[in-house]
Amino acid sequence: MLATAACLAGCGGGNAPVQLAVAPGPAAPAGTVDTFAVASRALGRTMNVALYLPPGGARHPILYLFHGFGGNGAAFFDAGLAINRAADRLGTPLVIAAPDYDNGFGVNTTPAQGTQTSGGTIGLYEDYLMTEMLPAVESRLGVTATRADRRIGGVSMGGFAALHLALRHPEMFSRVGAHSAALWDYSGADQFTGQRDWLYPTPALRAQRDPLLLAQHADLRGLRFYLDVGDRDPLRKQDEAMQAVLGAASEFHVGSGGHDAQFWRSRLEDWLSFYSAA
C-alpha cells in the first residue's frame, strides 16, 4: 500500500517509483523460561521443573504440563515444542510449569507391584507431583493458588498423567487437557501392552490408576476437559473411548496428523486458548 501511494504521488515523467521503507512493529514482549530443582523425599533425589513466566510476572493461572515417554519438561520450551514462543506471540496470561517425572506416568508404583515395566519407572510419582512439586512451584512463584488458578495437561504419557492426577484430585484443578493421551481400553487396538500390564497388574490397582475407570466415579463438577488426537494416531480409538466416558464435561478434537511433535505444534494455539480461559 505504501509503495503504491508513493508512485501515485510522484511517478510521472519516467521517474522510478519511490519505495518507502516500512518500519517493523515492536516485537511482542517475551516471557522467561527457567529451571529449578525440587528435593523430593518421595523419590529420594532432586527433580527438575522447567518454568515459564509470561511478561508481567507470576500473577496468572498456572498450567502444570506433563511430558511424554522418554522426554522431560524442558522439551515443551525452546528446545522442543516452543510453547513459550506461542504464548509470547498470543500474549497468553499463563504460567507454565513442566516437571520432570521420568517415565513414571504420574502414579505411585513399587517393586512389589511388578518390575516388568517395559520402560516405565518405579517410584512414588503421584506423591512427588502432588505433595512436593506443586507446592514448590507455587512457593517459588509466591502465590497461594486456588482450584480455579490451576490447570493440568500433557502429551501422550503426559496426557495419561494429567487425567490420572486430575481425576484422583478433582478438587485441585479446574481445566484438564489430554493431548494424544496414552490410554488402554483392552481392545485389540491397544498399544504398548507391556506398559499397560505393568500399570494395571491387578483389578484393584487398575481401578486406582486407569483414567477410563476413574472418570466413571469421579465428581466432574467444576472440571472442564479438552481432548485432542491426530486422525492417524494409533491411540485415537482409546482417546475416543475417554471422550465417551467424559461426555458433556469435555470437548474433543480430531486434527490432521499422527502421534508426533508436528501434530502437537499445530495445536499449540488451541491448547493455550483452552488453558487460559476463565
Q: In this predicted structure, what is the pLDDT of residue 56?
A: 79
Would you state the pLDDT for residue 45?
A: 98
Which grid coordinates are listed for 203?
A: 483389578
Residues 96, 63 contacting (CB under 8 angstroms): yes
State the first-to-last Cα distance of the chain, in angstroms, to the nearest integer: 39
Q: Which residues of the chain have pLDDT under 70?
A: 1-28
Neighbours of 43 (CB within 10 A): 21
**pLDDT computed for residue 27 by the predictor:** 64
What whole-number distance in Å separates Cα of residue 166 and Cα of residue 174? 9
Which of 200, 165, 202, 159 minimizes the C-alpha distance to 183?
Answer: 159
Express each pLDDT in 50-66 by its tens digit. 999 999 777 799 999 99
Helix (H) or strand (E) holding 215: helix 211-217
Cα separations (Å) of 174 from 61, 100, 274? 10, 22, 11
Q: Could you say which DSSP state residue 169 is in?
A: S
CA gap 107, 129 in Å, rounded: 9
Query: What pLDDT score does 15 carry?
Result: 43
* Region label for 142, one of left (φ > 0), alpha (ψ between -120 and 50) or beta (otherwise): left
Under 8 Å CB-to-CB from 227, ≥6 apart: which residues?
A: 177, 178, 179, 181, 239, 242, 243, 246, 250, 251, 252, 253
Residue in 98, 95, 88, 23 with CA at minimum distance from that of residue 65: 98
- Beta strands across the sheet bearing 224-230: 32-40, 45-53, 95-99, 62-66, 150-155, 175-179, 224-230, 250-255
Q: Which amino acid is at 237?
A: K
Burial label for 99, CB within 10 Å (0-12, 13-18, 19+), is buried
For 248-271, b where at least 16 C-beta lie within 10 A, e where not — what string? ebbebeebebbbeeebbeebbebb
Strand partners, 82: none
* pLDDT given at position 26: 55
